Structure 1
Amino acid sequence: MESNQYDLLEVLNNIEPAALTYQEWVNVGMALEHEGYTPAVWDDWSRRDPDRYHPGECARKWQSFHGAAYEPVTAGTIVQYARDQGWTPPYDPGQPIDWDDTISADGIVVDRNWVEGREISEPSKWDPAGELIRYLETLFEAGENIGYVVKSWKKDEKWLPADKGLYDRTAGQLIEALSHCSGDIGSVLGDYNPEAGAWIRFNPMDGVGARDINVADYRYSLVESDGMDLEKQHAIIRELELPVACLVYSGGKSLHAIVRVDAADYAEYRKRVDYLYDICKKNGLEIDPQNRNPSRLSRMPGVVRGDRRQYIIDTNIGKASWREWKEWIESVNDDLPDPESLEAVWNDMPSLAPSLIEGVLRQGHKMLIAGPSKAGKSFLQIEMCIAVAEGKKWLGWPCTQGRIMYVNLELDRASCLHRFKDVYKALGWRPENLGNIDIWNLRGRSKPMDKLAPMLIRRAAKKEYIAIVIDPIYKVITGDENSADQMANFCNQFDRVCTELGVAVIYCHHHSKGAQGGKKSMDRASGSGVFARDPDALLDLIELETTDELMKQEENKAICEVCRQYLDAHFKWEDDLSLDDLCSSHQMLNYCENKLDKWQWEALQRIVNAAKERVKAMTAWRIEGTLREFPKFPPVNLWFDYPVHRTDESGALGDIQPDAEKPAWQKNFKKKRTPEEAKKDRMSSLEEQYESLKSFNEDGKVTVKDLAESMGTTEKTVRNRIKEHGGFWIDEGNVGKK
């Protein structure tokens, strides 16, 4: 269970009892009882809601939990209540720490093994009113309401505040009265028990109540640690340079540091206090987590507690503000390398990272493949995975052989695995190194990249990958795609994977809308320009508009090829035809018809017809590159012959110009389609959109509304096209194939 991964008391401290209903409050008690805690834990936590707290009620209620006939309430309930109030787990508990794992040192400033205690000194002259005036003047403005408690009660040999105290007097009023009380602060605040001392709230209140909702300004947090020597507490607080407004001796086992957090609201206060407590804990200062609340009471200086006094040790120490302190903490632990002299390495240059794709990408670097829909970008990446695994060429570029991971975020598991097998078959390569390809199927389970990166690193750390492919990245984008700073942070996650694993990271992204031919390759990717400028290699695909003549040439080549393959399988025949005949589909078919028997001829005709249909579905593409490590390569022209891309060996695509590069009179000029062609396009579009949505939707369902949104038309038009097609059914808005 998830709750077992956390310190339950730590989780409980992130729940405000005042925000729960009575039944939810009871559920917390039941959960604590079920998990083996004592009623004292429930009672101590319940005190944080003084308006509803009644001494002894928790103990009485606890007795009714034993043997009760109800479904047990477990720790998971407490975890859920904490989540509902904004708590998030401080780490991903999905994997235990291994012996070889590194524990982060971020935020560690103090080496606790070498801390020397720092002495604290009691004021030479005891001035109770002066102590409290100094405290009020340091922390508050004159018109701000102050909360304090002077009444106390004793429990288990410990003195506790007896009520919520007073909160309707301002700092100015108290300072004025204290200035004229002749040292008798009891005449101003009310008499307190000198055995117990007195308490004061360190944040200004609204004058109406004493709960968290009554805090007027989330200005300070309390740092208290009573589990170590006082002088060591003092030393660590000083060495951490906490932005302490006032440091008070409690008269007991701890110092009370009133630390500036200057939060804008309660949500920011929680985040800053969590960060503050985390840094203190990492540096050996064990903080009492019950002190997180902004309405918490702290020890009031200027009063006596037993045989000791509560007094101010110092004011305004450490950094001047929260921002300055946080920047300092992060700069101390930035893990950045020191600058190095070029002279020192001039004659001993480090080795360059070896190539992953020769002339295009090095290992440990990043590559982006950008292109429009229907370019087969996922197939292109699968081809590259196979080329790396088998140590073969990808689009003509030699690849280094090694192990590669394919992170599948879009396809269901079965479809993804079948794609790999289909591509292997279409390439005609023997699957001799399948162990070099790992597939991580995350459809329906993908997370934002900042959450996915550490999980990916953990799983890949010991696998010796040389490359990781993430397909597609729109599934893991964090933030606004058009925001440069947010996308820079997103792209930094790829750097993190590259750096920590030493692998190349390859990912694809879609083009922005509109014509792309006249743009530079790095300006075509959708969103912020960070996408195109961040990777070390950018491969960009643009579609080439083919002509009828060119497609007839491809059909001729395809027919000749299948004829040759069929004849090779059944006859010894090449000497019968000239070189010209071998390149003519007409001559090849004539020859086959005369040489084959009736059954063979019919079989070949079926293969030829399939080849013709395949050619009709082929699309032409051009890859242009922007490289950081290598010279620019000439454009690569290729055919997308489902399910693989094949380079254009004939050079027929080299003369095709993208639309924006054509003369003005040719731009956007399209041959008028016949009614039959228009209908075929409509039906083809309907089928493609249906299959795409069926694959994309986790439940596999497709609705008329889905199709209308995907096709950019109305639901009425979609219904008409479905009726025209005849191969689909509609039932209450759901669409399926007959």
Structure 2
Amino acid sequence: MENKMDLIPLLKYIDPAMLDYQEWLNVGMALKTEGYTAADWDSWSVSDSRYKTGECFKKWTTFEGNGITGATITQMAKDNGWQPKYLSDENAHELDWNDEISADADYKFIDKNWIEGKEIVEPVHWNPVSEITRYLEALFQSTDNVGYVTETYAITDEETGESIYKPTKGASDRTAGQLIEALNKCEGDIGSVLGDYKEEAGAWIRFNPLDGKGVKNENVSDFRYALVESDNMAIDKQNAILRELELPIAVLVHSGKRSIHAIVRVDAPNYDEYRKRVDYLYNVCKKNGLSLDNQNRNPSRLSRLPGIVRNGKKQFIIDTNIGKADWEEWHEWIEDLNDDLPDIESLEDVFENLPELSPPIIEGILRQGHKMLIAGPSKAGKSFSLIALSIAIAEGVKWLNWQCTQGRVLYVNLELDRPSALHRFKDVYQAMGLRPNNIRNIDIWNLRGKVVPMDKLAPKLIRRAQKKGFTAVIIDPIYKVLTGDENSAEQMAHFTNQFDKVATELGASVIYCHHHSKGGQGGKKSMDRSSGSGVFARDPDAIIDLVELELSEDILKQQAEKVTCEVYSNAIKQVNFNYFDENVGPDDEQSVSQMYTHAKRILTDPAIAARAEAEISRAVQTINMRSAWRVEGTLREYPKFEAVNMWFQYPVHRIDETGILKDIKLDEPSKPSWKQNFDKKKSPEEAKKARNDAVDAAYEACSIDEEITIKAMAEYMGITERTVRNRIKEHGEFDINEGNVTRKEK
């Protein structure tokens, strides 16, 4: 909602009870178009006697592409008495030079009511020439034209009847060098250099150099200084505040009356920047107790000239070169003072009374309010894992190997269309064997096709989730909202800072996934596998990394034999448990041939035998289709955990309870690619055997269908149908008839 009007306050001007049905719908459509929630519409509608629970949420899903915008709500509110702020403000007017543009930041850090005044001492040895020369040398270069005024004209004050002296335009035809040279030769007669002045009035000088052609703003040749003057408090307090503010003051002058004139360095490159800097300067001063005259903003403004006597009071230099060295240093200092960073604290003050740690959301892995990255290659099932994590938190059950604390989850879906995302949640619930007792704890924000960069998404997310009480926010996947070059540390630091904002504002854990870099990952640490800048490794509080394990033919064969034995065992038990108990020993249960013999003896019913064979075929196909993974981690808050091995069997990951994956070593990319290929090169006999084994495996995997086709085997093997035909011909034990494959009878 950045840079948009907040429509919620406008709804107070619109009574739902006074609207007809279509007008009520229009409000809902406008809210949805502008990015609000059904809850916003529902909260406003509840005051109507016609209100029906749940109706807003039901209608909300039908509001797609309606074309009705927030302007509808704005007009309705106007019709009922609402006015925009700029119209309702009595002081509203077109901005002028003398107007102040206030900043959003609160730059107040001085309380003038508590600050002690700093005394100003009038000079004992009065030397007007020295005062003026010192002023010129402090502000000007020798070649700068200087504007000054000693001549005045009088006007009568209507209230007191007294004469008030006003300065004329004065002179600007001489440079600072020429004036200093003349002053040094005048033997104290400054009137002979600058012209005589009236002691009732004093004299003035322009603090910025001029072009010698006039004394207006357009004649200023260099926008170096601005005037800060306040005459609504005691002189000593003005002096104290100016110093406390660390203003980069070139010269501080006593006006000879009730104010101090601070000539402040702004060093603006042009007039527009000068105005911006003076706006900023005046805003800071006003926030800290100095009430300033807006007319003093002008770069050609006159200030009091030191070395002059005014009504018996000296105009003199109080100090030079105080505060920060220049504008940039002062501006940075002010911004640092007004950041939202916490104060520095002493360990001694809290050592015996330490704050409580955030509670764990994933036991032994992640605390609430912290950040976690799940990294892995493509097709590792990262999204399914994040959906399973959402469900585990919502239900308060285990995720993979770790217990989750029950809480509320927001799943930000950036990749899947809405139906696919919702179906996946149901599929994962069923695959996990869980009843959806706490699905109210899961909210889904579907943003496919409506994604914006993360720095724009973060404030929108925070606004919508602020009052929902989420324990965790899961963002999947982050490449959709990535801003900048992922190999740039600076740009990725800005990107990941958005996760900090979400976590801090919502008090929720932020969990997201990222992809691996290219190439083998076995020789790398878990924190170094993510693609892009090392920021991805240093930023999260926990990294869960998935690396695929390469399954050998022996492991696949072992798994197939194991599941075959299990199916035969279960079938025999159901038909004749006594036979199983008396005749099938532990060794038999591990042998496919022995279990096949027992099955042939007991499973005499062809239908039962066929069901067992079909179940074996499906189980073997599942084994061939599933992948194996090792989970490693890098943790900031907890000790490192032992690697966890698991299977990804669509749509969930399951812990490997057999231990068969424990001894598989990760690929080691230490050798050059040419050497790896050389080492892996097979003999012609080995290559032929591998091709034949692949044909056998594909045939068995596709045997779940009534007809085994060339097309099915090609899809399974990931090669063309023509290549499958060639390999079947080479194999020699299969026939092909009109695209169907059958095994030759021995």
Q: Distance in 2 between matches of 1:500 and 1:193?
A: 62
Give the 3-state SS of the residue equivalent to 1:651 in structure 2.
Answer: coil
Deviation per CA, 1:112-149, whole angstroms, max 9, x where unpaired? 44235556677789977765543331123324455779
* Match of residue 245 from structure 2: 240
Q: Distance in 2 between matches of 1:304 and 1:682?
A: 101
Aligned pair in 2 of structure 1 residues 645, 669: CA closer, same or farther (>3 Å)?
farther
1:280 aligns with 2:315: no
Deviates more, 1:108-117 or 1:368-377: 108-117
Q: Distance in 2 between matches of 1:366 and 1:487?
A: 15
TM-superposed CA distance for 1:539, in Å, is 1.6
Q: Tell whether the 8 Å contact from 2:521 to 2:669 is kept in structure 1 after alignment.
A: no
Q: Distance in 2 between matches of 1:669 and 1:168?
A: 90
* Match of residue 335 from structure 1: 342
Q: Tell whether the 8 Å contact from 1:543 to 1:621 is kept in structure 2 after alignment.
A: yes
Give the 3-state SS of the residue equivalent to 2:435 in structure 1.
Answer: coil
* Match of residue 667 from structure 2: 659
1:621 aligns with 2:629: yes
Matches within 5 A, 1:222-621: 222-224=227-229, 232-248=237-253, 255-261=260-266, 276=281, 279-285=284-290, 295=299, 297=301, 299-302=303-306, 312-322=317-327, 325=330, 330=336, 335-341=342-348, 345=351, 351-411=356-416, 416-440=421-445, 444=450, 446-449=452-455, 462-474=467-479, 481-484=486-489, 487=492, 491=496, 494=499, 498=503, 502-547=507-552, 550=555, 575=577, 594-595=606-607, 618-621=626-629
Q: Distance in 1 between matches of 2:85 and 2:671?
A: 81
1:640 aligns with 2:648: yes
TM-superposed CA distance for 1:392, in Å, is 0.7
Give the 3-state SS of the residue equivalent to 2:383 in structure 1.
Answer: helix
Q: Tell whether the 8 Å contact from 1:273 to 1:292 is kept in structure 2 after alignment.
A: yes
Q: Distance in 1 between matches of 2:166 and 2:468?
A: 57
* Match of residue 12 from structure 1: none
Aligned pair in 2 of structure 1 residues 43, 409: CA closer, same or farther (>3 Å)?
closer
* Match of residue 134 from structure 1: 134
Deviation per CA, 1:573-629, whole angstroms, max 9, x where unpaired? 68498797899799799969933799xx79x97x99988876665433221112233
Give the 3-state SS of the residue equivalent to 1:660 in structure 2.
Answer: coil
Q: Tell whether the 8 Å contact from 1:128 to 1:301 is kept in structure 2 after alignment.
A: no
Q: Distance in 1 between matches of 2:719 and 2:226?
A: 64
TM-superposed CA distance for 1:185, in Å, is 6.8
TM-superposed CA distance for 1:405, in Å, is 3.2
Aligned pair in 2 of structure 1 residues 396, 116: CA closer, same or farther (>3 Å)?
same
Deviation per CA, 1:491-519, whole angstroms, max 9, x where unpaired? 55555655665543333333233322211
Q: Tell whether the 8 Å contact from 1:133 to 1:178 is kept in structure 2 after alignment.
A: yes
Deviation per CA, 1:38-57, whole angstroms, max 9, x where unpaired? 99954844x99xxxxxxxxx
Give the 3-state SS of the residue equivalent to 2:551 in structure 1.
Answer: coil
Aligned pair in 2 of structure 1 residues 398, 142: CA closer, same or farther (>3 Å)?
same
AA at the equivalent of 1:641: Q
AA at the equivalent of 2:640: K
How many aligned positions are there?
593
Aligned pair in 2 of structure 1 residues 188, 350: CA closer, same or farther (>3 Å)?
closer
* Match of residue 719 from structure 1: none
Q: Distance in 1 between matches of 2:4 and 2:199?
A: 42
Deviates more, 1:555-564 or 1:371-380: 555-564
Q: Distance in 1 between matches of 2:567 and 2:166?
A: 92
Q: Tell whether the 8 Å contact from 2:479 to 2:514 is kept in structure 1 after alignment.
A: yes
Q: Distance in 2 between matches of 1:219 and 1:439?
A: 56
Deviation per CA, 1:649-677, whole angstroms, max 9, x where unpaired? 33333333222179997668488989999
Q: Tell whether the 8 Å contact from 1:150 to 1:193 is kept in structure 2 after alignment.
A: no
Q: Distance in 2 between matches of 1:660 and 1:464?
A: 45
TM-superposed CA distance for 1:633, in Å, is 1.9
Deviates more, 1:610-619 or 1:378-387: 610-619
* Match of residue 631 from structure 1: 639
AA at the equivalent of 1:651: G
Per the normalisation by structure 2, the TM-score is 0.60
Aligned pair in 2 of structure 1 residues 254, 41: CA closer, same or farther (>3 Å)?
farther
Structural RMSD (CA)? 6.0
Give the 3-state SS of the residue equivalent to 1:522 in structure 2.
Answer: helix
Q: Distance in 2 between matches of 1:642 and 1:501?
A: 33
Q: Tell whether the 8 Å contact from 2:565 to 2:589 is kept in structure 1 after alignment.
A: no
Deviation per CA, 1:262-286, whole angstroms, max 9, x where unpaired? 5788998788667655543543445
Deviates more, 1:496-505 or 1:145-154: 145-154
Q: Tell whether the 8 Å contact from 1:151 to 1:193 is kept in structure 2 after alignment.
A: no
Aligned pair in 2 of structure 1 residues 415, 215: CA closer, same or farther (>3 Å)?
farther
Q: Distance in 2 between matches of 1:305 and 1:447?
A: 63
Q: Distance in 1 between matches of 2:383 and 2:268?
A: 46
Q: Distance in 2 between matches of 1:417 and 1:254?
A: 71
Q: Distance in 2 between matches of 1:441 and 1:552?
A: 42
Aligned pair in 2 of structure 1 residues 553, 41: CA closer, same or farther (>3 Å)?
same
Q: Tell whether the 8 Å contact from 1:117 to 1:232 is kept in structure 2 after alignment.
A: yes
Aligned pair in 2 of structure 1 residues 257, 341: CA closer, same or farther (>3 Å)?
same
Q: Distance in 2 between matches of 1:427 and 1:318?
A: 67
AA at the equivalent of 2:206: I
Aligned pair in 2 of structure 1 residues 418, 127: CA closer, same or farther (>3 Å)?
farther
Q: Distance in 2 between matches of 1:282 and 1:191?
A: 37
Aligned pair in 2 of structure 1 residues 469, 212: CA closer, same or farther (>3 Å)?
farther
AA at the equivalent of 1:136: L
Q: Distance in 1 between matches of 2:617 and 2:628?
A: 21
Q: Distance in 1 between matches of 2:274 and 2:374?
A: 42
Give the 3-state SS of the residue equivalent to 1:245 in structure 2.
Answer: strand
TM-superposed CA distance for 1:490, in Å, is 5.5
Q: Sequence identity of aligned pairs in percent?
A: 51
Q: Tell whether the 8 Å contact from 1:198 to 1:299 is kept in structure 2 after alignment.
A: yes
Give the 3-state SS of the residue equivalent to 1:438 in structure 2.
Answer: strand
Q: Tell whether the 8 Å contact from 2:268 to 2:274 is kept in structure 1 after alignment.
A: yes
Which consecutive residues of structure 2, in runs of 5 or more, have no partner in the other structure?
A: 7-83, 159-163, 682-686, 695-709, 721-746
Q: Distance in 2 between matches of 1:116 and 1:485?
A: 44
Aligned pair in 2 of structure 1 residues 633, 299: CA closer, same or farther (>3 Å)?
same
Q: Distance in 1 between matches of 2:297 and 2:373?
A: 45
Q: Distance in 2 between matches of 1:390 and 1:186?
A: 93
AA at the equivalent of 2:301: L
Q: Distance in 1 between matches of 2:324 and 2:273?
A: 20
